[in-house]
């Protein structure tokens, strides 16, 4: 029997469990292995997917898992959010992002890839449709998340109150700035609004993994793990869920006690 070395250092054993990896690539590899394992255990698994800079390494590793045999033919996916007013074909849309970084490289069937339509004329109906499709798929088994430096998950931005279900949101300037690269580097070109799964949509997933890398995330990660629940830091609500794993590289874990 081969001896398996620990893949990361577990520094917080109860949900939210925290695992710290040597670097961002190691964290991405571990998450891709977990997803491949979930597909092996249940080929029809329903997975919630994030966008952003952080998951790029994860998608690269997931494509590598596919090359090694992970079969996505029966997998269903739901993306967490999308910009309002941007057609799916626009290079800045999250749908384009997913095509480029994951879907063109793996065999998720087109009809099993779910996105919010940012150009829907009836936004409320579009948000309801998404909730109904998630329910019809049997709910989300594994929700993968990134986190904004302001503590947002999906596009649930810090606010006096948070929405439970899929809804239309106004993006903060901080969030628009961090998405500028998708729009020619100009924050002014980033749409001011988005559609996003709500807090309950996310928290009803059976298991959640939050991937955060880099020192810019260290302060909010520390508050997510140790701080009080507050709508000022939407990710703090992950403390309510009993199967959350926060996967970090060392810089993102730097403010946590026990961090390597």
Of 65, 93, 178, 236, the one binding ligand PGA by CB under 6 A: 178
Please report the sign of the dihedral spanned by the C-alpha atoms of residue 136, residue 142, residue 16, residue 81.
Answer: negative
Nearest CB to ligand PGA, comparing residues 45 and 153: 153
State both tokens at 52: 């952003």
CB of 7 to ligand PGA, least distance (A): 21
Decide: is 57 part of the binding site for ligand PGA (CB under 6 A): no
Q: Do the Cβ atoms of 198 and 233 come closer than 8 Å?
A: no
Judged by phi (left if over 0) then psi (alpha if -120 to 50, else beta), residue 217 lies in alpha
Q: State how beta strands 244-249 and 167-170 pair.
A: unpaired
Interatomic CA distance for residues 113 and 124, integer angstroms: 21
CB of 225 to ligand PGA, least distance (A): 17
Burial class (CB in 10 A: 0-12, 13-18, 19+), 161: exposed
Decide: is 148 part of the binding site for ligand PGA (CB under 6 A): yes
Instruction: Give 9-29 as a 3 state SS string.
Output: EEEECCCCEEEEECCHHHHHH
CB of 133 to ligand PGA, least distance (A): 22
Decide: is 146 part of the binding site for ligand PGA (CB under 6 A): yes
* Span interacting with ligand PGA, options 8-16, 113-121, 144-152, 198-206, rule CB under 6 A: 144-152
Nearest CB to ligand PGA, comparing residues 196 and 259: 196
Known catalytic residues?
A: 81, 150, 152, 157
Decide: is 158 part of the binding site for ligand PGA (CB under 6 A): no
Of 70, 127, 142, 147, the one binding ligand PGA by CB under 6 A: 147
Q: Do the Cβ atoms of 65 and 32 come closer than 8 Å?
A: yes
Site residue total, ligand PGA (CB under 6 A) = 8
Decide: is 53 part of the binding site for ligand PGA (CB under 6 A): yes
Burial class (CB in 10 A: 0-12, 13-18, 19+), 155: buried
Of 8, 16, 48, 52, the one binding ligand PGA by CB under 6 A: 52
The neighbour count for residue 255, using CB atoms within 10 Å, is 17
Quick note: the x/- pattern for ligand PGA over 71-110, rule CB under 6 A, is ----------------------------------------
Task: Report the interface residues with ligand PGA, using CB under 6 A.
Answer: 50, 52-54, 146-148, 178
């Amino acid at each position: 029997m081969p001896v398996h070395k620990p893949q990361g250092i577990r520094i917080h054993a109860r949900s939210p469990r925290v695992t710290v990896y040597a670097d961002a690539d190691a964290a991405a590899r571990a998450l891709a292995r977990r997803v491949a394992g979930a597909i092996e255990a249940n080929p029809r698994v329903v997975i919630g997917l994030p966008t952003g800079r952080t998951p790029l390494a994860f998608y690269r590793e997931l494509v590598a898992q596919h090359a090694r045999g992970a079969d996505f033919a029966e997998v269903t996916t739901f993306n967490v959010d999308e910009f309002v007013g941007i057609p799916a074909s626009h290079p800045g849309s999250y749908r384009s992002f997913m095509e480029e970084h994951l879907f063109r490289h793996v065999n998720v069937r087109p009809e099993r890839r779910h996105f919010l339509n940012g150009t829907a004329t009836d936004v409320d109906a579009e948000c309801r449709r998404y909730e109904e499709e998630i329910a019809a798929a049997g709910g989300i088994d594994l929700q993968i998340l990134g986190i904004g430096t302001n503590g947002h998950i999906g596009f649930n931005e810090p606010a006096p109150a948070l929405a439970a279900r899929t809804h239309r949101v106004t993006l903060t300037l901080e969030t628009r700035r961090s998405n500028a690269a998708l729009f020619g580097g100009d924050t002014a070109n980033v749409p001011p609004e988005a559609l996003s799964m709500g807090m309950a949509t996310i928290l009803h997933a059976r298991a959640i993994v939050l991937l955060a890398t880099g020192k810019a995330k260290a302060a909010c990660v520390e508050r997510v793990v140790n701080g009080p629940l507050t709508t000022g830091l939407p990710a703090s609500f992950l403390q309510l869920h009993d199967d959350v794993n926060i996967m970090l590289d060392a810089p993102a874990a730097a403010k946590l006690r026990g961090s390597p």
